[in-house]
Chain A
Amino acid sequence: MKKLFPFILLLLILSIGCQSKQHDTIKIGIAGPMTGDQAKMGMDFKNGATLAVDEWNQKGGILGKKIELIVGDDQHDPKQAVSIANKMINDGVVGVIGHFNSSCSIPASDVYNRNMIPMITPGSTNPQLTDKGYKNVFRVCGRDDQQGKVGAIFVTEQLKLKNVAILHDKTTYGQGLADEFKKHIGNKAQVVYYGGIVQGDKDFKMVLTAIKSKKPDIVFFGGIYPEAGLLVKQSRELGLNVPFISGDGTIDPKFIEIAGASAAEGTYLTFSPDPKNIPSAKDFIKNYQSKFGEIGPYSIYAYDATNILLTAINSASSTDGSAISDKLHSMEFDVALGKIKFDSKGDVTVSPYVVWITKNGKFEEFWKP
């Protein structure tokens, strides 16, 4: 017992340290895949949110307190997302920015809803997330039904292609997007192949060989960039040289790196307009670049989501989740992406999806519906 005494003392001291710290700051959470193969997206989230929090703290914080950012790593694993959500609530966050993957955001939103913690996702596009009717759930990005529709219109009306092969990665996001795309293709084109691949797999040649034998004019993929890059690379290796189109999960320079610049050339994807063309985003771009370097596709969404949350907390003058959610529903926010207002579900009222193309090893805005 005597030997244990110093340790017990140490534990006591440490626990006192935790207690006293808890009331000094207002905590908000940022959750996403901070490690794993999608860690780049998580980093963009974190950097965007950090920039917003730093700017607020420089102006003196919020409700007379400094803001503290709690980072949660869900490793794009739904199980981990739920435990991270619980952990952040135990840490005493008043609101959460996240998660990235729809498959993580949806189960995590249940946890946040039970505790009435407002959650704004910068990147989860699956319709289910806001269709649940939770008062505390918002997103600053668009929805896959809007995105799939734009992709389908582009393929059938702009490119006027007749035979479409559709692949997805069996995740909530990927399959959801692929299904929306398929729905909007309707009978305007023939779906010659529809199937799934396994996220994290490296060899898709068997699926692609099967697709090649169906002679499609274009391949659509609902999924994230590591698989998208490999799919493009391996289809070119098999001599399947048809156009490739995917969703917003693909917009990452790693996609081009994995596929190889020549194979990725001319591939399409649907995403929101380039922030470089938005006048109100100028300051954000300058500040972000000077602090973190290259802007990631979701950096601006994380930045805006954080600003929106903090503005709502500020005008609610309370950290009560229900009051903040009310403010989020009723206010109009003037942020880097422009003016944002949420509808009764928590979706943004306008979400302009456009088609991007890969040109000379870079993503470029290409076509507006």
Chain B
Amino acid sequence: MLLQQLINGITLGSVYALIALGYSMVYGILELINFAHGEIYMLGAYFGIIFFGFLTVLGVTNYSIFLSLILTFLLSIMFCSAYGFTIEKIAYKPLRNSTRLSPLISAIGVSIFLQNYVMLTQGATDKVFPNLFGARGFYFLSIRMTYIQLFIIIVSILIMIFLRLFIRRTKIGKAMRAVAQDKTMASLVGINIDTIISITFIIGSALAAVAGLMVAMYYGLVNYFIGYIAGIKAFTAAVLGGIGSIRGAMVGGLLLGLVESLGGSYISGEYKDAYAFVILIIILLVKPGGLFRKAELEKV
């Protein structure tokens, strides 16, 4: 049972980690808590349902499920990135030189707007993502694991590795780290800050889109409200690991998933959501900077 709960927790945690990365990256660069990030995740799930339905109508799903899934992922990522890019340009960029509170309030506004926009255009009822793999899975050391769980864990790990390599090794990654450390200095050495910020938002939104779509496939149920609680949990994960730190977001997400899963089964399932926040309070009291304290040095 312990191993089974660990698998449940890791699956959940990988999703939290993917969303948390978006929070952390944006915070690292702009010191802005992007409250609209959870809604991007929700949009990712909706786009997944829309595009998958669209491909079904076109008959692509009959031809190949995997091709249509790949297409769905790509389209969903593209649209969510476009949303992330646009939100930054409309809601945050004009406020960049104002007080720190203004973009935060703007973010909350965007979040409320997107929720209601989706509610009005897509309806308030639950949407169902077609159950592609049924309950199919396999047993491994007496743990039952479904293919979709395996898929979520593998995709998350791959994405995290790529993201780390991207930030460590590429020129854009280097520029992102530079902007995170000192915007003025970075612009003096010829880095286009606006472009870097846009790229950060695009990458963050792409990760949220993947997370949203994977969750839609995993649970099969999507509504306009899922971004809210997922956003708060991912935010908790980001703070847990030390907001602004990439490594922290990954570890924080996984930790949160495990705490929820183990607490939910060994203590009481009724207070599942509370454990995450109890952990958050403890961490903030004991280690206010989060688990990875070198946040200042290792932003983005």
Interface, chain A (partner B; CB < 8 A): 35-37, 39-40, 170, 195-198, 200-207, 209-210, 212-213, 226, 229-230, 233, 236-239, 254, 257-258, 260, 262-263
* B1 is an interface residue with CB less than 8 A from chain A: yes
**Which residue on chain B has the smallest CB distance to residue A261?**
B131
CA distance A200 to B226 in the complex (A): 9
Q: Tell me whether A210 and B144 are in contact in the complex, defined as CB-CB below 8 angstroms, given that A39-B125, A260-B131 are known contacts.
A: no
Determine which of B125, B126, B269 lies in contact with A210 in the assembled complex, contact meaning CB atoms within 8 Å: B269
Given contacts A203-B8, A209-B265, 14 further A-B contacts (CB under 8 A): A36-B124, A37-B124, A39-B123, A39-B125, A40-B125, A196-B270, A197-B270, A198-B270, A206-B261, A206-B262, A206-B272, A209-B8, A239-B144, A254-B126
Interchain nearest-CB distance for B209 vs A (Å): 18
Nearest neighbor of A205 in chain B, beta-carbon distance? B8
Is B5 part of the binding interface, using a Cβ–Cβ cutoff of 8 Å?
A: yes
Q: Which of B5, B134, B264 contacts A263 (CB 8 A)?
A: B134
B264 touches A202 (CB 8 A): no
6 A–B contacts, CB within 8 A, in A order: A36-B124, A197-B269, A209-B1, A226-B126, A233-B131, A239-B137
CB distance from A209 to the nearest CB of B (A): 5
Contact in complex: A37, B126 (CB < 8 Å): yes
Given A207-B264, A254-B126, A254-B128, check contact A202 B8 (CB 8 Å). no
Closest chain-B Cβ to A227's Cβ sits at a distance in Å of 10
A226 to B150, CA, bound (A): 25
User: Could you tell me the distance between the alpha carbons of A237 and B139 in the complex, rounded to whole angstroms?
Assistant: 11
Q: Check A206–B265 contact: CB distance below 8 A.
A: yes
Is B273 in the interface zone, CB < 8 Å from A?
yes
Chain B 73-117 per-residue mask, 1 if CB under 8 angstroms from chain A, else 0 = 000000000000000000000000000000000000000000000
Contact between A196 and B269, CB atoms less than 8 A apart: yes
Check if A202 sits within 8 Å of B221, measured CB to CB.
Answer: yes
A210 adjacent to B1 (CB under 8 Å): yes
Residues in B neighbouring A35, C-beta threshold 8 A? 119, 124
Report chain A residues within 8 Å CB of B1: 209-210, 212-213
Most A CB contacts (10 A, CB to CB) among B9, B215, B272 go to: B272
What residues of chain B lie closer than 8 Å to A257, measured between beta carbons?
128
CA gap between A196 and B272 in the complex, in Å: 11
A263 touches B135 (CB 8 A): yes
Task: List the A side residues contacting B135 at CB < 8 Å.
Answer: 233, 236-237, 260, 262-263
With A207-B265, A239-B144 as contacts: A262 and B220 at CB distance below 8 Å: no
- Check: B39 CB closer than 8 A to any chain A CB: no
Q: Judging by beta carbons under 8 Å apart, are A198 and B272 in contact?
A: yes
Residues on B with C-beta less than 8 A from A197 are 269-270
Q: A230-B219, A238-B144, A254-B128 are in contact. Are A209 and B12 (CB under 8 A)?
A: no
Is B8 touching A206 in the complex (CB atoms < 8 A)?
Answer: yes
**A179 CB to nearest chain B CB (Å):** 15
Taking the complex as formed, is B34 at the interface, i.e. its CB lies under 8 A from any CB of chain A? no
Pair B4/A238 contact, Cβ less than 8 Å: yes
Q: Please, how many angstroms separate the alpha-carbon atoms of A202 and B134 in the complex?
A: 17
Decide if B14 is an interface residue (CB 8 Å cutoff): no
A170 touches B270 (CB 8 A): yes
A201 touching B270 in the complex, CB below 8 Å, given contacts A39-B124, A206-B8, A210-B1: no
Distance of B228 from chain A, by nearest CB (Å): 10
Give the CA-CA distance A366 to B131 in the complex, in Å: 27
Give Cα A230–Cα B216 distance, bound, in whole angstroms.
Answer: 12
Q: Knowing A197-B270, A209-B1, say if A260 contacts B265 (CB, 8 Å).
A: no
Tell me which residues across on chain B come within 8 A of A203, comparing CB atoms: 8, 12, 219
Closest to A207 in B: B269
- Answer whether residue B223 sits at the interface, using C-beta atoms and an 8 A cutoff: yes
B139 touches A239 (CB 8 A): yes
Which of B8, B9, B215, B272 is close to A201, meaning CB atoms less than 8 Å apart?
B272
Task: Return the CB mask of B257-282 against A: 1 if under 8 Å, else 0.
Answer: 00011101100111011000000000
Q: How distant is the Cα of A170 from the Cα of B223 in the complex, in angstroms?
A: 21
Q: Which residues of the other chain, B, contact A37 by a CB distance below 8 angstroms?
A: 124-126, 223
Q: Which of A35, A213, A260 is most buried by chain B, counting CB atoms within 10 A of its CB?
A: A260
Q: Write out the residue numbers on chain A whose beta carbons fall within 8 Å of the beta carbon of B225.
A: 200
Q: Out of B4, B226, B273, which one reaches A209, CB within 8 Å?
A: B4
For A73, give the chain B residue with the smallest CB separation.
Answer: B124
How close is A280's CB to chain B, nearest CB, in angstroms?
Answer: 32
B61: interface (CB < 8 Å): no
Q: Are A202 and B272 in contact (CB under 8 A)?
A: no
Most buried by A among B12, B128, B269: B269
Whole-angstrom distance between the Cβ of B278 and the nearest chain A Cβ:
16
Residue B181 interfacial (CB < 8 Å): no
Query: CA–CA, A260 to B133, complex, Å?
Result: 10
CA of A177 to CA of B180 in the docked complex: distance in angstroms? 55
In the complex, chain A residues whose CB is within 8 Å of the CB of B146: 237
Return chain B residues, CB-CB under 8 Å to A233. 131, 135, 220
Q: Which residue of A lies closest to B261 (CB)?
A: A206
Q: A258 contacts which of B5, B134, B220, B273 (Cβ < 8 Å)?
A: B220
A237 contact set on B, CB distance < 8 A: 135, 137, 144, 146
Write out the residue numbers on chain A whose beta carbons fall within 8 Å of the beta carbon of B125. Answer: 36-37, 39-40
Q: Which of A170, A198, A205 gathers the greatest number of chain B CB atoms within 10 Å?
A: A205
Residues of A within 8 A of B226 (CB): 202
Query: What's the least CB distance linking B49 to chain A, in Å?
Result: 13
CA distance A80 to B123 in the complex (A): 19
A201 to B226 alpha-carbon distance, docked (Å): 9
Q: Which chain B residues lie closer than 8 Å to A213 at the CB level? A: 1
Question: How many angstroms from the CA of A260 to the CA of B128 in the assembled complex?
Answer: 10
Listed residue (A197, A204, A236, A238) with the most chain B CB atoms within 10 angstroms of its CB: A238
Q: With A and B bound together, what is the CA distance between A140 and B170 in angstroms?
A: 69
Query: Which A residues are in CB contact (< 8 Å) with B126?
Result: 37, 226, 254, 258
CB-nearest residue of chain B to A170 = B270
Which residues of the other chain, B, contact A230 by a CB distance below 8 angstroms?
219-221
Q: Are B134 and A262 in contact (CB under 8 A)?
A: yes
**A202 closest partner in B (C-beta):** B219
